[in-house]
Amino acid sequence: MYIRSLTAKNLKRLRNLSLDFTQSDGKPRMWTVLIGENGTGKTSILQAIALAAAGSLRVNDLAGNSFAHLRDRRQKARLEIQASFAFTPSSLSNHKTHPLYKGMLPDELNLSSCVSLDPKETTLRAQAWYGDEEAPPADAEDPLDHARARETHLWFVIGYGVQRTLPESGRMPNLARPSVDRMKPLFDPSYPLTSTSFISHYGNRQAKARIYSNVLKRTIISTDILPSDIANFEIRGYGGVTKATDLLERDRFHQNMGTDKVKIPAVALAHGYQSTIAWIADLVGHILLEANTELEPKDFEGLVLIDEIDLYLHPTWQARLIPALRKTFPKLQFIATTHSPVVLATLSPEEIVRVQADAKSGDVRRITPDAETGEWDSVDKEEELHTQPDPRVMTGTEMYRAYFSLERLTLNEHGETLRSYTALATNPYRTDYQEMKMELLRNQLTAALVEDLVFPVQREDDDPTKSRG
């Protein structure tokens, strides 16, 4: 499945927000990254997509106890989520994935989904139907419920919250109903990823364990998804990789350390490495579990929702990650959040959605530069969806000013004051006015608890007719 559009009403701070996830040709856009200050509903948008993809039989299971926190607390109004999904090419080539569709499958097929929660109720209601009509045909069976109840493949959606850790050694995963369970990390930070425990799931089925290990190796080695110092990932040797502990605790990863190449287990890698391996290994496992056959990463299809895609990653890694994911998984659609300007620099303007809370109402809205004034404001016209600057050609200063509203030249809020003070304090020919200005700046910095200020140099006479000794 791919997401095409989303409207969320009275979902936390999303009083009425609509987003489009298609390209200019109408096809699903494969990358969308949400940016905005904390508390502007970025995670809520990911959750809304997940809820719309769950189906009425599983939507309350997915939301869990968080249903009580989903509604807008500023008013007693009905929560509504409406989404439109498209299907992947492989899904449309096999009628077994759409048994409720009458007639030949078209080249393009959309699914409408609606989720709601009334103010006095504690149960989410959901319904889905084929087509773009506002309501389902009378007496029509729900195709999304049918797919989720039968764990039908090629209706793939997966979600990752900010807790992305390798599973505990020896943990046996519960994969009885994975089609919706794999979205639970977006709602429950403690919900564990299956990740490398897929090896334990296969048990004595060593052929499938080897397939998983081989595909994982092709995904993370020499693809730039991991830093280049991870030179190899050993999947054979004595006994091969047949259980999760083989990946976690045995010396399987070859890491370049200077001129040496050292074998170390996954749990000995830095946290950024572990976090990335955890969700990539989880994604690979779920795709292969659903397909029940070996697939190349370039043939993976579906929708990936990921909160804080740059979590724990150094800026040089952030700069490579999305280009690497694009190349490795060209048929996966990603909807992600970030606070990183480095991540934005790898995206086209159409792939960035900036959200902001309105100062008066508190409502979250999408903002873009006004087509006439250039000031960032709510989207009022269709053409304003195409007025964002191109982050790929922007300097760091331009990026912070345009996308993060940091108008000052320095990242530190006292940086410009400190620069001015330092310039005056180190100038031996400062005038009386500059001396007064320097003292004023020093008092401001001291009041702001800025320490280690440059001690002013002794003033010298700036009269060129006088001797300076």
What is the residue extent of each domain of the chain? 1-156+301-407, 191-296, 418-463
pLDDT score of 168: 79
Q: Kindly provide the residue ranges of all beta strands, DSSP E only, lying in 12-87, ordered along the sequence.
A: 14-20, 31-35, 79-86
Q: Kindly provide the residue ranges of all beta strands, DSSP E only, lying in 251-387, ordered along the sequence.
A: 253-257, 260-264, 302-306, 332-337, 352-357, 364-369, 376-378
Q: How far is CA 253 from the centre of its chain?
A: 26
Instruction: Look at the block and give the residue holding tokens 């320097």.
Output: 438
Per DSSP, the three-state class of 137 is: coil
Instruction: Look at the block and give the residue holding tokens 């969806």.
Output: 385
Element (H, E) at 279: helix 271-291
Q: How far is CA 298 from the centre of its chain?
A: 20
Cβ-contact 312, 279 below 8 angstroms: no
What kind of architecture, by CATH, is found in domain 1-156+301-407? 3-Layer(aba) Sandwich (3.40)
- What Cα–Cα distance (Å) separates residue 403 from each residue in 37, 255, 343? 10, 36, 12
pTM above 0.75, yes or no: yes
As beta bridge partners, residue 127 has 114
pLDDT score of 469: 43
Element (H, E) at 305: strand 302-306
Burial 332-346 (b: 16+ CB within 10 A, else e): bbbbbbbebbbbbbb
As beta bridge partners, residue 80 has 9, 116
Q: Is the alpha carbon torsion for 19, 21, 25, 27 positive or negative?
A: negative
Per DSSP, the three-state class of 339 is: coil
**What's the rounded Cα separation, in Å, for the pair 14 and 324?**
32
pLDDT score of 244: 60
pLDDT score of 136: 85
Cβ-contact 351, 29 below 8 angstroms: yes
Task: List, run by run, the mean pLDDT of 10-residue segments along the chain (469 residues).
Answer: 97 93 94 95 96 96 88 88 96 92 91 94 94 85 95 96 86 87 95 88 80 92 91 63 64 85 87 94 95 93 97 94 97 97 95 93 91 83 80 90 84 90 94 94 94 92 52
Question: Which residues does 330 contact at the CB level (< 8 Å), separation at least 6?
Answer: 30, 298
Per DSSP, the three-state class of 375 is: coil
pLDDT score of 241: 61
Cβ-contact 115, 81 below 8 angstroms: yes
Q: Is the alpha carbon torsion for 289, 22, 298, 336 positive or negative?
A: negative
